[in-house]
Structure 1
């Protein structure tokens, strides 16, 4: 089983992101069931983005470590001799790249920990790593008490939850009394608009009003 796809909030700021998305989206023909078409387009986009990220962005921590090591060696060399123009230019490029990589690492830590007050220098701390792991554990039901049994398996927990809600949804208990709402003289509201189909503008406005880095879906996209 391959690793789970997760959309990174910094991807749209990287060069080539829009091109990859447009090419992947257009690779799936828009013919057939619209829901299946959307699902296939999202899957194709996820695979293309993952390949693009692995190739052009790579492992951020490893890149930071390599940049620090090269800068250290150049600094040590400066203590005994003068750097050449090529070496000095390389050191300048590495310093600039290192700042960008550290900023990228900070953004990733912020996105995964969902903390709104991430401070400078805290991105690589153990606290935020533990907080990100805690969020994953918090979203997982490790055990469930059902009648006289304590269930720990995920399949058993899912079956118990499904059975519980199937037993209460769609069923109404016998009433022992009722209220005559007409006597209360409550105002009547016209609710016919609730049964109208959603318009394209309504859906677009709702989607655009949602935060860009919230509501992580099962497909890995925010």
Structure 2
């Protein structure tokens, strides 16, 4: 590696049929420390003011298959040597290799090759996955009109710790202009559009609360003992929804904080009970253990439902795994913008909301001014 100037490093990539460089440039307000470098990759620690440091690896893979295999081995060694499983890590650049047949535009490429499997296994072992992006799916083309080919050779990969540090980060693949590759622009502080209220969602763990049945019964009977028509049924459901929201807010909101507090209280009581063994302190310890275990179970149920993993049974206490799945799902499922038929992009939440309503109105028809199914029964005030 050679130093060009303050805030700029490059490494050269030489082989029998290619010549390339990896160049890293940064501003004085950013601190960069090179941790490992080779002809195909540069790994550095990046510190931006106001945030914790993270690791970034720039990739420029060789055109030669054997040399790319060496790169996958090198990445695995770097991952283990620098303990990158426990720190925020980004990895991006030109991999010169696809991981699935769908990442090749030619119909004849319809099977997993050994080269695809090697890269895919490597990324799986390092727990890396594509950061949600906007722009073209394919990132490289041969620019040959007689036999056009496009592939996804460029990617920006992250581990779950990156989403802890930059929960709203997003990448954009921009047009290549004069290049045969599409460049990737990363926004670490992308503002997620938000508008309106969140829809009600019933969490399964609510049924585990000791007062669940009583709360539902009281809310149901408050709007009358029997629902004779859909209007009354709709009103009863609204009453139950309001009661369940209150039950969730009062007992399970910020579940991670509640669980941590219960853990600290348990440790405090256990120390007191060992220093001064009394019946009262032992009873307090028993109650603290029960509450801590209960909240641990609630926390796992919460993240399991949000992660939508149905092939694991409750009780495995895979909360960390579920939390990572939730993070990745939220990153991929969040709608950041709309691309209109005119190729204009909407990012303002109000404009996006208006456009969505107009779009579905044309499909479903004009909305009713007032739905009789959502009116309260006579004599009841909402």
Q: Tell me by how many angstroms 1:108 deviates.
A: 0.9
Q: Is 1:15 the equivalent of 2:210?
A: yes
* Structure 2 partner of 1:108: 302
Name stretches of at least 5 consecutive residues in structure 2 with no aligned partner.
Answer: 1-195, 365-382
1:91 is matched with which residue?
A: 285
Q: How far apart are 1:134 and its partner, in Å?
A: 3.2
Change (3 A) 1:83 1:33: closer
- Distance in 2, Cα, partners of 1:50 & 1:22: 15
Residues 1:71 and 2:269 are matched in the alignment: no
TM-score (norm 1): 0.58
- Would the aligned equivalents of 1:144 and 1:157 in 2 still touch at CA under 8 Å? no
Q: CA deviation at 1:63?
A: 3.0
Match of 1:134 in 2: 331
Pair 1:24–1:74, CA change in 2 (3 A): closer
* Number of the residue aligned with 2:180: none
Structure 1 residue 123 corresponds to structure 2 residue 311: no
Cα 1:33–1:145 change in 2 (3 A) is: farther
1:157 aligned to 318, 339, 355, which one?
Answer: 355
As a proportion of its length, which structure holds more strand?
2
State how far apart, in whole Å, the 2-side matches of 1:66 and 1:43 are.
33
Correspondence 1:45 to 2:243: no
Shift of 1:135: 6.1
Question: How many Å apart are 1:27 and its aligned residue?
Answer: 2.0
Structure 1 residues without counterparts, runs of 5 or longer: 167-222
1:61 aligns with 2:256: yes
Report the RMSD for the aligned CA atoms in angstroms: 3.5
Q: What is the distance in 2 between the residues matched to 1:40 and 1:111?
A: 27
TM-superposed CA distance for 1:159, in Å, is 5.2
CA distance, structure 2, for counterparts of residue 124 and residue 22 of structure 1 = 35
Distance 1:34 1:103, change over 3 A: same
Distance (Å, rounded) in 2 between the aligned partners of 1:83 and 1:136: 52
User: 1:146 aligns to what SS in structure 2?
Assistant: coil
Q: Distance in 2 between matches of 1:97 and 1:159?
A: 45
Which of the pair has the greater relative contact order for Cα pairs under 8 Å at 6+ separation?
Answer: 1
1: distance between equivalents of 2:204 and 2:330? Answer: 18
CA distance in 2, matches of 1:48, 1:4: 15
Structure 1 distance, partners of 2:224, 2:272, is 57
- CA deviations over 1:97-125 (Å, ceiling 9, x no partner): 21121111101111111122458443145
Structure 1 residues 19 and 72: alpha-carbon distance in aligned structure 2, compared to 1, 3 A threshold: closer
User: Aligned-pair distance for 1:32?
Assistant: 10
**Distance (whole Å) between structure 2 residues aligned to residue 52 and residue 70 of structure 1:** 23
Superposition deviation, residue 87 in structure 1: 1.0
CA deviation after TM superposition for structure 1 residue 25, in Å: 1.9
Alignment of 1:158-173 (within 5 A): 158=356, 161-162=359-360, 165=363
